A and B are shown apart, each in its own frame.
Chain A
Amino acid sequence: MNTPAHGEVEAVYRAAFGTVVASLTARFRDLDLAEEMAQEAFVEAVRRWPTEGVPPNPAGWLTVTARNRALDRLRRESTRQARHEEAMMLTAPEDPRAPVTSVTDERLRLLFTCCHPALAPEAQVALTLRLLGGLTVPEVAAAFLVPERTMAQRLTRAKRKITAANIPYRVPRDAELPGRLRGVLAVLYLVFTEGHLPGSGEAGLREDLCLEAIRLARVLRELMPDEPEVAGLLALMLLTDARRAARVDAGGAVVTLDAQDRSLWDRAMITEGHELVRACLRRNRPGHYQLLAAVNAVHTDAPTAADTDWAQVLALYDQLYAVTPTAVVALNRAVALAEVQGPAAALPVVDRLSLDGYHPFHATRADLLRRLGRGEEAVAAYDRALELATNPAERAFFIRRRATVAGEVR
């Protein structure tokens, strides 16, 4: 046993929280009880680990501690349902040294329950962060910039619906799995993008949310190693987050890919991301996240911006458009087209898209117009982007670019 350093208990706890909640939910079919007891086990760990040391299997220790506390609680509350009494009679308090088995499956069941399509999307994200990610209610509230009380209510309402409507605690059957997995991946990607490009608040980046999303994607990959889209999503997150240190400059403005200091990129993350993309390619079952990961693999493969294989990026966007034929994909494809065939070829393609409420549309137009020497129109497009953009780092970049272009016009 070793004595934990400051913060180590916290880290162990964060990593183990989902396992503890999942294991208790499987046993007692009560999310509230599972959540509360996981919290109590943590309090116990904070009290004991600093003097007694971290046990060799911390997740197992926390699970058994939480489980025994749940049994104590149920024993005291004799008015509880018969199923709880049954659970009590079936098992005596367990040996804390006993290994905990098949917890990975439990976490997967918990993830699919949290991301059930009958729950509102914001509730899915909040439940996932709280129950699987182990973020506290104030942390989840802060992540989405809503008052703590609002978030607590949102979580309570969602848990109540899970119980009342009898939302199943299981991994969907094969027939439903692709659709349901899409929902889970969307929730994880939403957590990630909220960290990568917060839509609101003061921060240009929220590292904690990015790391949490990556951690959960790793859990999902460990649980579903044969799903290429899971690997694709993890690769996409790694290859995006690898560039984090280069993404915002000292002045708090976004640095575009072509201007980033590539020596700041995280090589270990890039290597891992590339390996995942290669493994996906071997499987040859391309999907939305795998293709986006592949685009990011091309970018991170280039030693300098000038070395970027834009033809390859364009080909990947063509494939992506075949899988996901949306205006947003068409816009990103047009960015690659501008590099391959020039801004004059890309502008008419962009102008045909109905994305007036989407600030990247105006930012892309602005950049193409700027490169075509149509300064006044570029300034107008930057103005429109600024009306819509809320992320401070992006806004700072648009303001600077707009000023440069306006200076040239004058």
Chain B
Amino acid sequence: MTQYLLSVWHTEGDAMPPEDEIQDMYTSVEEFNEELRQSGSWVFAGGLHPPTTATVVDGTGSEVVTTDGPFSESKEQIGGFWVVEAADLDAALDIAARGSRACHGRVEVRPFQDE
């Protein structure tokens, strides 16, 4: 079994979907999460507040430097993620396809290193 990070990315400046679509999305994501728990693939998942709520901490120097804003200047920002356990990449891609449909967003699949 391999663990995978399934992350959902939003492009900054994209219009917010209408309220009823957001409600639909919450419902379908909750159903999908329940499927994951039932099938035993679930490890962890969560949605994130917008990138404007992020703070970057740099402890690599002698003094800790704290700055406002997301780490990346990129227009693409992570909005939420799942950590799942799957037999192989094909199984993870299948989960990702269902997740993508549920959350109305594209999903990046990335394997975790072995512990």
Contact = CB atoms under 8 A, between A and B. Distances in A.
Nearest to B2: A166
A204 to B, nearest CB: 40
A166 B89 CA distance: 5
A166 B92 CA distance: 10
B2 A118 contact: no
Interface string B96-115: 00000000000001110100
A43 interface: no
B26 to A, nearest CB: 30
Interface string B19-58: 0000000000000000000000000000000000000000
Nearest to B93: A118
B71 to A, nearest CB: 23
A286 B41 CA distance: 40
B93 A166 contact: no
A176 B111 contact: no
A168 B88 contact: yes
Contacts of B92: 166
B20 to A, nearest CB: 33
A167 B93 CA distance: 10
B90 interface: yes
Nearest to A81: B114
Interface in B51-98: 87-90, 92-93
A306 interface: no
Contact of A172 (B87, B90, B109, B113): B90
A166 B110 CA distance: 10
A11 interface: no
A84 to B, nearest CB: 14
A176 B93 CA distance: 12
Contacts of B109: 165
Nearest to B3: A166
A82 interface: no
Contact of A168 (B89, B111, B113): B89
B90 A165 contact: no
B64 to A, nearest CB: 33
Nearest to B88: A168
A246 to B, nearest CB: 45
Contacts of A166: 2, 88-89, 92, 111
Interface string A152-168: 00000000000011111
Contacts of A167: 88-90
A76 B100 CA distance: 46
A118 B110 CA distance: 11
A167 B88 CA distance: 6
A180 to B, nearest CB: 9
A118 B108 CA distance: 11
A167 B90 CA distance: 7
Interface in A128-185: 164-168, 172, 176
A168 B88 CA distance: 6
A272 B2 CA distance: 46
B69 to A, nearest CB: 31
B40 to A, nearest CB: 17
B112 to A, nearest CB: 9
A167 B89 CA distance: 5
A70 B89 CA distance: 26
A372 B28 CA distance: 61
B49 to A, nearest CB: 29
Contacts of A168: 87-90
A167 B91 CA distance: 10
Nearest to B86: A166
Contacts of A116: 89
A235 to B, nearest CB: 30
A36 B113 CA distance: 24
Nearest to B113: A164
B93 A164 contact: no
Nearest to B94: A176
B82 to A, nearest CB: 16
Contacts of A172: 90
Nearest to A162: B89
Interface of A: 116, 118, 164-168, 172, 176
What 8 pairs between A and B have smallest CB-CB spacing? A168-B88, A166-B2, A165-B111, A166-B88, A167-B89, A165-B89, A164-B111, A168-B90
10 contacts: A118-B93, A164-B113, A165-B2, A165-B109, A166-B88, A166-B89, A167-B89, A168-B88, A168-B89, A176-B90
Given A164-B111, A176-B90, 13 more contacts: A116-B89, A118-B89, A164-B113, A165-B89, A165-B109, A165-B110, A166-B89, A166-B92, A167-B88, A167-B90, A168-B89, A168-B90, A172-B90
